[in-house]
């Protein structure tokens, strides 16, 4: 694509597409590191997964966590850049391409649904991003998309009073889940849903990764039949933030 643009001035309007594509290219070491930083330390299930690989500077093996989905701020950045690229391309494109669509309204609506319902991000950032970039309000065709008792104000208050990113995530997910079950005639499954959030969001990042390494080492020792190591590692299991917070309450 780069060669085509260099050799054909009539394709200059496609330069923003190339620029955006290059932003997503993380093949060099610096960009690969940044790519990892822009991802959650957990998989989409909420659990920390580890894998063993060759260490970069030695012949030893190292165990590290598998990066998960993109974090909230980076997802919002990518959406903003995509919409900006679409706007610039439409402005510079020939008449036959003025309505080029890099992302459809249906796709935007589905992204919004995922952020609201699956990510529990009730600050509802997508309509604001869309209106900021395009100048037009986002008209979601889903009739239930704006029916929420939680919004940016509540999100901002929680963000201000929570002293740790994971505590903040836990609170937002608990509130979002409770709100979702309020709309149901039967609240079957709410306890399991809340417990799942405590399992995946109640530990600070470093503690969650350390706990995953602990479990990895226990399984490795058990597989090798190393009973003494298993006893040592399981003698004092690590407490999660939720355990410490609510210990002794009943």
Q: How far apart are CA 190 and CA 104, in angstroms?
A: 34
Q: How far apart are CA 228 and CA 103, in angstroms?
A: 57
The count of other CB atoms within 10 Å of the CB of residue 171 is 16
- The pLDDT assigned to 141 comes to 84
Instruction: For residue 104, report the phi and psi dihedrals to the nearest 5 degrees.
Output: -90, 165
- The pLDDT assigned to 244 comes to 44
- The pLDDT assigned to 80 comes to 98
The residues facing 136 across adjacent strands are none
pTM of the model: 0.83
- Helices 105-113 and 125-134, interaxial angle, to 10°? 150
- The pLDDT assigned to 30 comes to 85
- The pLDDT assigned to 188 comes to 86
- The pLDDT assigned to 146 comes to 58
- The pLDDT assigned to 8 comes to 66
- The pLDDT assigned to 250 comes to 43
Instruction: For residue 133, report the phi and psi dihedrals to the nearest 5 degrees.
Output: -80, -45
| Contacts by residues 72-80 (CB-CB < 8 Å, ≥ 24 positions apart) | 72/119, 72/121, 72/125, 74/38, 74/39, 75/115, 76/125, 76/129, 79/111, 79/126, 79/129, 80/129, 80/132, 80/133
Query: Mean pLDDT per segment of 10 residues, for the chain of length 250 residues?
Result: 69 88 86 92 94 78 92 97 96 91 96 95 96 95 69 95 93 92 83 93 92 92 89 69 48
- The pLDDT assigned to 137 comes to 95
Q: Where are the domains of the chain?
A: 1-37+70-148, 152-201
* SS3 readout for the chain: CHHHHHHCHHHHHHHHHHHHHHHCCCCCHHHHHHHHHCECCCCCCCCCCEEEEECCCCCCEEEEECCCCECHHHHHHHHHHHHHHHHHHHHHCCHHHCCCCCCCHHHHHHHHHHHHHHCCCCCCHHHHHHHHHHCCCCCCCCCCCCCCCCCHHHHHHHHHHCCCHHHHHHHHHHHHHHHHHHCCCCCCCHHHHHHHHHHHHCCCHHHHHHHHHHHHHHHHHHHCCCHHHHHHHHCCCCCCHHHHHHCCCC
């Amino acid at each position: 694509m780069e060669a085509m643009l260099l050799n054909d001035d009539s394709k200059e309007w496609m330069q923003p597409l190339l620029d955006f594509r290059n932003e997503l290219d993380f093949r060099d070491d610096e960009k690969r590191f940044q790519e990892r930083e822009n991802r959650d330390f957990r998989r989409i299930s909420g659990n920390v997964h580890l894998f063993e690989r060759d260490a970069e500077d030695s012949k030893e093996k190292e165990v590290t966590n598998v990066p998960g989905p993109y974090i909230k701020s980076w997802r919002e950045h990518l959406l903003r850049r995509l919409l900006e690229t679409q706007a610039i391309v439409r402005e510079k494109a020939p008449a036959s391409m003025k309505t080029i669509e890099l992302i459809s309204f249906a796709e935007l609506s589905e992204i919004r649904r995922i952020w609201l319902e699956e990510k529990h991000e009730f600050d509802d950032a997508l309509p604001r991003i869309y209106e900021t970039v395009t100048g037009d309000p986002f008209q979601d065709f889903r009739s239930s998309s704006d029916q929420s008792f939680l919004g940016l104000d509540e999100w901002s208050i929680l963000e201000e009073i929570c002293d740790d990113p994971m505590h903040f995530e836990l609170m937002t997910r608990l509130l979002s889940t409770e709100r979702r079950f309020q709309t149901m005639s039967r609240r079957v499954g709410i306890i399991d849903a809340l417990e799942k959030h405590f399992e995946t969001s109640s530990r600070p990042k470093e503690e969650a990764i350390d706990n995953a390494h602990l479990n990895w080492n226990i399984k490795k020792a058990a597989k090798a039949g190393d009973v003494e190591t298993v006893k040592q590692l399981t003698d004092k299991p690590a407490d999660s933030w939720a355990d410490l917070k609510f210990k002794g309450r009943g």
